């Protein structure tokens, strides 16, 4: 069993390398300060495969979430985020927060930790990194999609169009 989990995890790690456009990591490092523990997409994918109780929060805006989101993600927004919107989540749950690249989710993660959440992770590179790694997304109807809201042309450049479909609207 442990060997199977190791092989599964190692496979996720290998899939996650080399999928992002040049400069993606440097761009992320310019915005993400590391004030909340970082998790790579491989870690979240592995966690989802073994733990049905993992909590995933989407800290983007509603129009971004409606284009696509990680399966099971709860929309919490960014500009309108209120801590009351997560009162139904145990403060001891593993909580993964994401946005487009990790900046907004880091700010929400800081608020969660300040409110007493003990296991908060910011998805490094956000949904862009997740999609660029080829991991599954669903639309607002719960159907599989390759579409990702790129926000605008400047931010959309960080989406790998071989792995996903960039939506700018």
pLDDT along the chain (169 residues), means of 10: 48 52 94 97 95 93 97 96 96 97 98 98 98 96 97 93 92
What six digits make up the tokens of 16? Answer: 């996650």
So what's the pLDDT on residue 151? 86
CA quadruple 30, 48, 9, 22: dihedral sign: negative
Is pTM beyond 0.85 here?
Answer: yes
So what's the pLDDT on residue 2? 54
* C-alpha–C-alpha distance, residues 63 and 110, integer Å: 24
Please measure the distance between the N-terminal and C-terminal CA atoms of the chain and give it in whole angstroms: 46
So what's the pLDDT on residue 19? 78
Catalytic residue positions?
A: 99
* C-alpha–C-alpha distance, residues 19 and 157, integer Å: 13
E-state strands within 21-83: 38-39, 55-58, 74-75
Tokens 């915005």 found at? 31
So what's the pLDDT on residue 51? 80
Q: Where are the domains of the chain?
A: 2-167
Pick the CATH number of 2-167 from 3.40.250.10, 3.40.640.10, 3.40.47.10, 3.30.390.50: 3.40.250.10
């Amino acid at each position: 069993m442990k060997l199977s989990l190791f092989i599964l995890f190692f496979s996720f790690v290998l899939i996650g390398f080399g999928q992002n456009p040049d400069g993606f990591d440097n761009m992320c490092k310019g915005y993400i300060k590391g004030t909340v523990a970082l998790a790579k997409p491989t870690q979240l994918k592995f966690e989802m495969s073994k733990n049905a109780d993992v909590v995933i929060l989407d800290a983007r805006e509603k129009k971004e979430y409606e284009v696509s989101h990680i399966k099971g993600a709860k929309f919490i927004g960014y500009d309108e985020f209120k801590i009351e919107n997560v009162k139904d989540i145990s403060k001891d749950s593993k909580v993964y927060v994401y946005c487009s690249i990790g900046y907004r989710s880091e700010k929400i993660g800081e608020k969660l930790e300040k409110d007493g959440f003990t296991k908060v992770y910011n998805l490094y590179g956000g949904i862009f990194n997740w999609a660029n790694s080829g991991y599954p997304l669903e639309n607002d109807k719960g159907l599989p999609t390759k579409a990702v809201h790129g926000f605008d042309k400047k931010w959309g450049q960080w989406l790998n169009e071989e792995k996903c479909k960039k939506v700018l609207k």
